């Protein structure tokens, strides 16, 4: 059990989240994020991702985040309740989330290194299909994949874009990542792969000038890439806190049984 005496409060700019933040304003003495032991985040999954990315940029090591849902889906959030925050924090279960690191090299030679908590995705920029060479651990496994795109998803992100693209749901703690094509045209029968999370994945754009491709790390995009290298960033592990009855691992498991 942990008390987390110094707490920070952050909220999405939406009216429901702002109203909830006002209700919690007098619940305790709030600290800046840089000085807190835990962050209380009010909003939806998009705001949670934004908060976690802020933690990666501002805190080393990052502190735990306890989210309460004032958005739509709230897959990464707990239920919103005004009262009982002290008890909920003391009983909360921690879940470790390891982000991906995307190193994207543009056709201009510039290098962009970005973290991704859910997924890294490559997407065609024009009406023409993307042609990609797929390499795993320095071995070319697909010389040419013609598709709308491809993504690499973490277990925490496997129920998001990855699942919509017909990718597998990965349990937390599985030590795997999903490599999932988006509308593959050739080879027609390839539907993706599940790889150990120690794998180093390289996606090279074939004829990048004629068939331009963008790379997206969660919500941040790099356009006109020539090559993207992806691996786990084990130096920057994140911690999410959940009520025992709404744990993230159980949510991911049960998502497989939703029709």
> Average pLDDT, stretch 129-144?
97
The answer to whether 173 is a known ligand-binding residue is no
> Average pLDDT, stretch 96-108?
96
Cα dihedral 246, 248, 250, 254 in deg (nearest 10): 100
The answer to whether 79 is a known ligand-binding residue is no
Whether 1 has a pLDDT exceeding 60, the answer reads: no
Fold: same for 7-98+236-257 and 100-232 = no
Residues belonging to the chain: 259
Q: Which fold has domain 100-232?
A: Tumour Suppressor Smad4 (2.60.200)
The answer to whether 253 is a known ligand-binding residue is no
Whether 258 has a pLDDT exceeding 90, the answer reads: no
> Average pLDDT, stretch 121-126?
97
Active-site option among 3, 37, 45, 86 = 45
Mean pLDDT of all residues in the chain? 92
Res 166: pLDDT: 94
> Average pLDDT, stretch 18-30?
93
The answer to whether 69 is a known ligand-binding residue is no
> Average pLDDT, stretch 111-136?
97
Q: Where are the domains of the chain?
A: 7-98+236-257, 100-232
- The span from the CA of 128 to the CA of 243, in Å, is 46
> Average pLDDT, stretch 129-142?
97
Strand order in the sheet with 193-196: 193-196, 176-182, 149-153, 119-124, 213-217, 220-222
Whether 238 has a pLDDT exceeding 90, the answer reads: yes
Q: Which fold has domain 7-98+236-257?
A: Rossmann fold (3.40.50)
> Average pLDDT, stretch 155-168?
93
> Average pLDDT, stretch 146-150?
97
pLDDT tier at 251 (50, 70, 90 boundaries)?
confident
> Average pLDDT, stretch 11-29?
94
Res 157: pLDDT: 92
Res 59: pLDDT: 58
Between 111 and 76, the more confident residue is 111
Whether 254 has a pLDDT exceeding 80, the answer reads: no
> Average pLDDT, stretch 106-133?
97
- The span from the CA of 81 to the CA of 245, in Å, is 14
Whether 58 has a pLDDT exceeding 80, the answer reads: no
Q: Is 29 a catalytic residue?
A: no
Res 3: pLDDT: 76
The answer to whether 119 is a known ligand-binding residue is yes
pLDDT (tens digit, 9 = 90+) per residue, 174-188? 999 999 999 999 998
Q: What is the pTM of this model?
A: 0.88
The answer to whether 159 is a known ligand-binding residue is yes
Query: Could you write out the three-class secondary structure of the chain?
Result: CCCCCCEEEEECCCHHHHHHHHHHCCCCCECCHHHCCEEEEEECHHHHHHHHHHHHHHCCCCCCEEEEECCCCCCCCECCCCCCHHHHHHHCEEEEECCEEEEEEECCCCEEEEEECCEEEEEECCCCCEEEEEEECCEEEEEEEEECEEEEECCCCCCCHHHHCCCCCCCCCCCEEEEEEECCCECCCCCCEEEECCCCEEEEECCCCCCCEEEEECCEEECCEEEEEEEECCCCCEEEEECHHHCHHHHHHHHHHCC
The answer to whether 31 is a known ligand-binding residue is no
């Amino acid at each position: 059990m942990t008390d987390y005496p110094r707490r920070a409060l952050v909220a999405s700019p939406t009216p429901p989240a702002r109203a909830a933040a006002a209700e919690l304003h007098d619940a305790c003495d709030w600290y800046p994020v840089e000085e807190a032991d835990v962050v209380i985040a009010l909003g939806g999954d998009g705001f949670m991702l934004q908060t976690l990315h802020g933690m990666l940029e501002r805190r080393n090591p990052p502190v735990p985040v306890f989210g309460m849902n004032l958005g739509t889906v709230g897959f990464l959030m707990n239920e919103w309740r005004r009262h009982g925050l002290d008890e909920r924090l003391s009983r909360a279960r921690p879940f470790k989330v390891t982000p991906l690191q995307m190193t994207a090299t543009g056709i201009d030679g510039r290098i962009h290194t970005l973290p991704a908590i859910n997924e890294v995705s490559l997407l065609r920029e024009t009406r023409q299909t993307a042609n990609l060479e797929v390499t795993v651990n320095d071995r070319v496994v697909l010389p040419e994949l013609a598709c709308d795109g491809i993504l690499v998803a973490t277990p925490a992100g496997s129920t998001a874009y990855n699942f919509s693209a017909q990718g597998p749901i990965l349990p937390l703690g599985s030590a795997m990542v999903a490599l999932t094509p988006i509308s593959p045209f050739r080879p027609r029968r390839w539907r993706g792969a599940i790889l150990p999370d120690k794998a180093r994945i390289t996606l090279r754009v074939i004829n990048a000038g004629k068939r331009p491709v963008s790379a997206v790390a969660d919500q941040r995009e790099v356009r006109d890439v020539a090559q993207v290298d992806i691996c786990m960033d084990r130096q920057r592990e994140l911690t999410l806190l959940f009520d025992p009855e709404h744990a993230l691992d159980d949510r991911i498991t049960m998502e497989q049984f939703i029709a």
